[in-house]
Structure 1
Amino acid sequence: MKGIKKRLFLNYLIGVCLVLFSVELILMISIKNYYYKSVEQSLNEKAQSSATFYDQYLNKNYANLSDSLAPLVENNTEQQNIEIQIIDKKGNILLSSGIVSAEKIQTNDFQKALKGEASTWTGNNFDTNEKVMSASNALKDLDSNIIAVIRVVTSLEDVNNLILKYLFLSMTLLIVILICIFISSTILSKTIIEPVREVNDIARKMSKGQFNERINKHYNDEIGELSDTLNYMASEILKAEETKNDFISSVSHELRTPLTAIKGWGETIITGSFEDKEEIEKGLKVILRETDRLKNMVDELLDFSKLEGNKLVLNMEKTDIKEEIEEILRLYDGRAKKERISLQSKFTENIPEFSVDRNRFKQVIINILDNAMKFSPKDSNILINVSTLENELIIEIIDNGYGIAKEDLPKIKDKFFKGNSKKSGSGIGLAVCDKIIKLHGGSLELKSELNKGTNVIIKLRIN
C-alpha cells in the first residue's frame, strides 16, 4: 500500500505543481510584458512629441542647429527617470540631459531612426551596465533631411524591482498553495488508501476461510462498491457452505438408511436365522428395493454433476408424449393403489410427436410425479394434464397435497434445497429436472399454496 500511496501522492503533487508553475510562468511573462509595453509606449510618445515639437517650432525659430536642439534637452532636465539625448548621424552624443558618454551610440533604435523609422531598444547601459530602454526618432530640417536623432532613455530598474516584488508575492502564494496541496493530497491519499488497506486485510482473512468478517463501507464510490461485492461474496460463500453441509448431512442420512437395511437383512440371511423361505424372500426384496434407491440417488448425483459441468449430452428423438406419460402412470399404478392416491391423466386431441431425449424426459416426469405422491396424503388426487397452446406443449402435474410454503417457493428449484420437509431425498432432484427442461429449450414453473396443493407446469416449444 505504501507504493500506491506514494505514487498517488507524487502523481497528484507533480501534476498540480506543473500546472501552478506553468500558471506562475505565464503570469510573470504577462506582467513583464505589460510593464515593458507601458514603458515602451511612454518613451515612444515622448520621442515622437519631442520630434514633432522640434519640427513645428524649434526648427523654424532658430538659425543655428545647436540653438534649435538645446530646448529639447532643457525642457526635460527635471524628469529624473528620463534622459534625453541628441545624437548626430555618426552616433556622437551632442547634447544630453544626463551624463554625456564618450561611447558612440549604435543601437538598433538609433540605426532605424536614421532611416526615418521610430523604434525602441532594450539592453544594458554602456557606462553603468544597468538595464535600460530607449526610443529614438529622427529630427529633420526644413528640407526634410535627417540632421540628428532624439533618443529618450529610461532605467528599467524600478520596473524590474516591481516585477520582482510581484514575483516574490506570487512565489509566496505558490508556496502557501503547495503546502495546502501537500496537506490535502496527504488527506486524499489517506481517504483512498485506508479503505483499500481495510479491503485488503479483510480479503486476506476471507482467503483463510474467515467469511464472517465484513468490510466497513466508508464512501459510495468504486471502493465502496468493491466492499459491497466482497461482503456479498462472503455471505454467498457462507450460504453455499451451509447448504453444502446440509446436503452432506442429508445425503449421509439418506445413504445410511438403505445401507442399514441392506446390512441388517444381509447379516440376518447369512447367519441363517430364517428358516421360512418367505421371510428370506422378503429380506431379499428389501435389499433389492434399497439397492435401487441407492442407485437412484447416485444417478441423481451423477446427473447433477454433469449438468453443473455442462457435460450432459441429450439424445434427441421423436417421441410420443402421450404414450410415454401413460407408461409412467402404469409404473406408478401399484404404488398409487397402495397409498390410496388417484392418478388421472387428461390429453387434448392430436398431441404431436415431440423431439426430446426420451430417457431424460421420463426422468423429469417420474421425479415430479414421485414428489407429488410423496407429499400427498391418502385419498388425494394427482392429475397429469397435457395440452398445446399456440407453439407450446404444456404438461401440468397437479396434486392437492401438502403444498409448499410461500417463503420456500422461490428457492424450491435451488440445488440442495429441501425446505422444512422431513421426507427422504437429496434435494437436487428438482434442480436436475429444471436444468434438463432448460436444455430442451423449455421452462419449469411451480405454483403452490400450503395445505392446498402444487401445480408443476412444464412448457416445451413445438419444433
Structure 2
Amino acid sequence: MRGIRARLIIHFGFILLLIVLVLEGLFYWAVHTYYFGTATETLVTRATTFTTFINKYAGTYGLKEKARYILENVSNGETAKVEVLDTGGKVLLNSYGFQTAEVIDTPDLKEALTNTTGIYVGKSPQTPERVIAVSNRLTYLGETVGVLRYTISAEPLYAAVYKIAMYGAGVGAVVVLFAFGLSLVTAKRMVDPILELTRAATQMATGNFSVRAAKRYDDEVGTLAETFNYMAEEIGKNEKLKNDFISSVSHELRTPLTSIKGWGETLLSGGLNDPEETRLGLEVIAKETDRLIGLVEELLDFSKFQSGELKLSRERLDLRDVLEDVRVQFAVRSHDKGVGLQVVVPDAPLPVTGDVNRLKQVFVNLLDNAFKFTPSGGTITVTAEETGRWAVIAVTDTGEGIDPEDLPHITEKFFKGRSKQAGSGLGLSICQEIVQLHGGHFHVDSRLGSGTTVTVELPLTTK
C-alpha cells in the first residue's frame, strides 16, 4: 500500500469486485425470480382452474364426496401432489389415493380459508424437502368445507438456479481476473512515467541538469513531463548563468583589487617620497575603488530586483532636469576622451512621475556604456521628445555597435557578449527593470560598426 501502483491495483480491484458482486446478486435474484415466478404462476393457474371446476360441478357434494370426485378427475399427467384438507388442515385424501392423519398448518392454508389463493414456498412440514404449495377453498352450498392443495417439489428449481448461479460466478471470476490484469497494465502505464520523472529528478538533484523526461502520453502526466523538462532547461540556464556570474564577478573584482594592492605595496615600499608617483597611485586607487563600489551597487540592485524588494520613491519631475544633470556629470569625461556629447531637449517640460535617482541611474548607465564603446572623435547624442502620451529619450552613439548575434541577449543578466570592456553584465538589465517599474519601455537598436541607439519610453504625467 506504500506505492501508487499497489494502491491503484487494490482500489481498482476492490471496486471491480464490488461491482461484480452486485451484478452477480442482481443476476441471481433475476434468475430465481424468473424460475420460481414461472413455476408458481403455472401451479396457481392449474390449481385455481381445477378448484373452480370442482366447486362448479360438484358444488352439491360433501367434502368426502368431493375428495373422491377430485381423485377420479385428476389428470393422469398431473405431476403435482394434490391433497384435500378439511378446514382444520387434516389431510383427507391425496392424489396417491391415501388418507392420512397428517395435519398441515402452513400459511397457504390460512390464506385459502379467507377466500384467496394461498401460496407457500418453503420446507415441507414432514420432510426437509423444499416445496411450492398452492391452496384454494372448496365450497358446499356456498360454504367453505375444505381446501384443495397442489404441491410440487422446488428442489429441481433450486438446483437449476444454483447451476446457473455457478456459471454466473465463474464468468464473474473470469471478469475479475481479467479486470485485475487490466488494472496491472493500467497502473503500470500510469506509474512508469512518474517513476521516470522521479529518476530524472534524482539525477537532477545530483547536478545532472541535462537529463530529460520522456513524454509518453498527451495527458496530465505528459504535461508534467513537459513542465519538468522546461524546469530542467531553466535550471540549466540558471546554473550556467551562475557560473558565468561567478567567473565575471571574480574577474571584475580581481582586476581593481590587484591594482589597489599593487599601488598600496608600491607606496608602502617608499613611493611616498615621490609626490608625483604618490598622486598617480592614489588616483588609481580611488578610480579602482569607484569601480568596486559601482560593481557592488549593481549587485545590490540586482539582488533587490530578484527579491522584489526594490522600492521607488515617486515624485513629479521634469525629465529635462534629469538629462541636464547627466550632461553636466559627463562633460569632463567628454572633454578628456575627445567624444562629443549633445543633449537635445524640447522647450516644453516633460513631466513624469518617478524616482529621480533611479531614472538618473538609467541615463548615467546608458551614457557610461556609450563612452566605453565610442572611440575618440565620435559623437554621443541624447534626444528627448514628447510623442503622444509618452516621453521618448534616445541615447545614440557612433561607437563599435553590437554583434547581431548578441543583440537579442543584450539585456539578459550577466550577458557581456563579445565585448572585452570591463563590467558585470548587469547594467542594461537593471536599466530595463527600472524603466519597466516606471511603466515604460526599453529598446536597443544597433548595427555592428555603425553605433547603437537605446530608446527609453516613459509615460507622461497628465495635469
TM-score greater than 0.5 by the shorter chain: yes
Cα distance between partner residues in 1 of 2:233 and 2:387: 42
Letter in structure 1 aligned against 2:210: N
Cα distance between partner residues in 2 of 1:392 and 1:405: 29
- Whether contact under 8 Å (1:351, 1:387) holds in the other structure is no
Cα distance between partner residues in 2 of 1:137 and 1:212: 90
- Counterpart position of 1:126: 125
SS at the partner of 2:45? helix
- Whether contact under 8 Å (1:137, 1:149) holds in the other structure is yes
- Counterpart position of 1:193: 191
With normalisation by structure 2, the TM-score equals 0.90
Cα distance between partner residues in 2 of 1:401 and 1:74: 133
- Counterpart position of 1:355: 353
- Whether contact under 8 Å (1:74, 1:97) holds in the other structure is no
- Counterpart position of 2:10: 10
Letter in structure 1 aligned against 2:102: E
Letter in structure 2 aligned against 1:397: V
- Whether contact under 8 Å (2:374, 2:400) holds in the other structure is yes
In structure 2, list runs of 5 or more residues that go unmatched.
Answer: none
Cα distance between partner residues in 2 of 1:236 and 1:414: 14
What do residues 226-268 of structure 1 show as CA deviations (whole Å, max 9, x unaligned)?
3333333232222212111112211222222223333333444
What do residues 411-449 of structure 1 show as CA deviations (whole Å, max 9, x unaligned)?
322211222222221011112222222333333233444
Match runs of 1:319-334 below 5 Å: 319-334=317-332
- Counterpart position of 2:59: 59
Match runs of 1:445-460 below 5 Å: 445-460=443-458
Q: CA RMSD in A?
A: 2.7
Match among 279, 298, 301 for residue 300 of structure 1 = 298
- Counterpart position of 2:36: 36
- Counterpart position of 2:248: 250
2:53 is aligned with 1:50 = no
- Whether contact under 8 Å (1:69, 1:86) holds in the other structure is yes
Distance 1:40 1:408, change over 3 A: farther
What do residues 382-433 of structure 1 show as CA deviations (whole Å, max 9, x unaligned)?
3322223343332222334444444444432221122222222101111222
Residue 76 (structure 1) shift? 3.8
Residue 25 (structure 1) shift? 0.9
What do residues 198-228 of structure 1 show as CA deviations (whole Å, max 9, x unaligned)?
3223322322323233333333333333333
- Whether contact under 8 Å (2:260, 2:284) holds in the other structure is yes
Cα distance between partner residues in 1 of 2:407 and 2:68: 114
SS at the partner of 2:33? helix
Farther-moved stretch of structure 1 (234-243 vs 93-102): 93-102
With normalisation by structure 1, the TM-score equals 0.90
Farther-moved stretch of structure 1 (447-456 vs 25-34): 447-456
- Whether contact under 8 Å (1:103, 1:126) holds in the other structure is no
- Whether contact under 8 Å (1:121, 1:134) holds in the other structure is yes
In structure 1, list runs of 5 or more residues that go unmatched.
Answer: none
Number of equivalent positions: 460
Match runs of 1:230-309 below 5 Å: 230-272=228-270, 277-309=275-307
Query: Sequence identity, in percent?
Result: 37
2:27 is aligned with 1:27 = yes
SS at the partner of 1:332? helix
Distance 1:64 1:300, change over 3 A: closer
- Counterpart position of 2:161: 163
Cα distance between partner residues in 1 of 2:13 and 2:161: 27
Farther-moved stretch of structure 1 (232-241 vs 294-303): 232-241
